Amino acid sequence: MGGGISGALVAWQLAVHGIDCVVVDARSIGLGSTCASTALLQYEIDTPLTELQHKVGLNQAVRSYHLCRQAILELGDIAKNIGFTDFEYKQSLYYAAYKKDTSFIKEEFAMRKKHGFKVSLLEGSAIENNFGFSAPAAILSKDGAHTNAYLFAHHLLQASKKKGVQVYDRTNITGIQHQQKKVLLTTETGHTLTAKRLVYATGYEAVNYISKPIVKLSSTFATITEHLETVGPYWNKDVLIWNTADPYLYMRTTKDNRILVGGRDEDFYNPARRDKLVVPKAKQLTADFQKLFPGIPFKSEFNWAGTFGATKDGLPFIGKYKPLPNSFFALGFGGNGITFSQVAANIICDGILGKTNSDATIFSFDRV
């Protein structure tokens, strides 16, 4: 249930393993959070590794980072497999927004380096010489990527249909009965779907089905330029860029010669109030970019907002939810929704096949 990028990735994984699967979505495919995604693919989650180790333990913290890195590579393989070309590997630059963050950057770099991540530490003039803006320190990570989440979801589902997956969008589920050996879903038009297992891939809307508080919803904003007359790179190798500010600023380029900037998050969930801020937030994001790169023209063409969920430890919720028999959840909250969705696809597929997945406990509901 859910035909965005999360549901599409799970459906593809099930199809590859020969598991009969039907996808239903209340909206048109990809018109939920997926179409609002800025689709930076990074193994770094919203909680730095130096902090995450104190929340979930060192081994699980490091493993979750490695799983996200592995997911990026798997997503690239999937894109190639289905002939989807709007996927590109990129390096990622994480820079100190303030001088006081320098020691944190160095500690984070040292920890990532120690645990096998391909990273370099840049300071002072090295950042300006290589990337054209000033920052006291930065971590350059080799493994990252970007994509188009909306198109990726559509390509995945089209490829899955060729393997027998059935897809029904604009199909609103109004009733769900979890029984001992099956799940019954009733549509708005009175039809009934019977399944052995139900995968919830409905993003933050899944909180309607979960009794315990697992996520805090906030608002985020983005703006993107018109097509630029010059062809990139617009900075060194068009690396993904983000910083240590709270909320953090991030930016990337696109294949059709645009620059996308996001951030300026607000700590509330109210769609009407959020949408009123789209234009002023876009102006702030434009100013943020031009402060960093005054020589690059930035004329916004599209501005938008989205809702995202943040968990206490920054990790998603994936797997079985005991109060609902025969259920699995794929909830890739935070800034790593797409990579966590790929992790979820692996864990859920193993669960349906009856296989033990040693990583499932990291993201289970039992931790809250």
Note the pLDDT of residue 158: 98
Among the listed residues 122, 110, 130, 139, the one whose alpha carbon sits nearest the alpha carbon of residue 50: 110
Burial of 256 (0-12, 13-18, 19+ CB in 10 A): exposed
- pLDDT band per the 50, 70, 90 thresholds, residue 207: confident
Note the pLDDT of residue 212: 86
Per-residue model confidence as pLDDT tens digits over 246-296: 999 999 999 999 999 999 999 999 999 999 999 999 999 999 999 999 999
Average pLDDT on 293-316 reads 94
Note the pLDDT of residue 153: 98
- pLDDT band per the 50, 70, 90 thresholds, residue 335: confident
Per-residue model confidence as pLDDT tens digits over 153-166: 999 999 999 999 99
**What is the sign, positive or negative, of the torsion defined by CA atoms of 244, 250, 253, 255?**
positive
Instruction: Determine what percent of the chain is predicted with pLDDT higher than 90.
Output: 93
Distance between CA atoms of residues 246 and 279, nearest Å: 21
Average pLDDT on 100-105 reads 98
| Pair 286, 261: CB distance under 8 Å | yes
Q: How far is CA 347 from CA 10, 14, 277, 327, in A?
A: 10, 11, 38, 13
Can the peptide bond before residue 233 be classed as cis, meaning omega within 30 degrees of 0? yes
Note the pLDDT of residue 232: 86
Among the listed residues 164, 204, 171, the one whose alpha carbon sits nearest the alpha carbon of residue 34: 204
- Which pair of tokens denotes residue 30? 């990809």
Residue 202 pLDDT > 90: yes
In this structure, are strands 22-24 and 166-168 parallel, antiparallel, or unpaired? parallel
Distance between CA atoms of residues 136 and 183, nearest Å: 55
- Which pair of tokens denotes residue 138? 């930065």
In sequence order, what are the residues at sequence separation of 6 or more whose Cβ sits closer than 8 angstroms to the Cβ of residue 6?
34, 201, 203, 330, 331, 332, 337, 341, 344
Residue 150 pLDDT > 90: yes
In sequence order, what are the residues at sequence separation of 6 or more whose Cβ sits closer than 8 angstroms to the Cβ of residue 284?
264
Distance between CA atoms of residues 85 and 67, nearest Å: 23
Mean pLDDT of the chain: 96
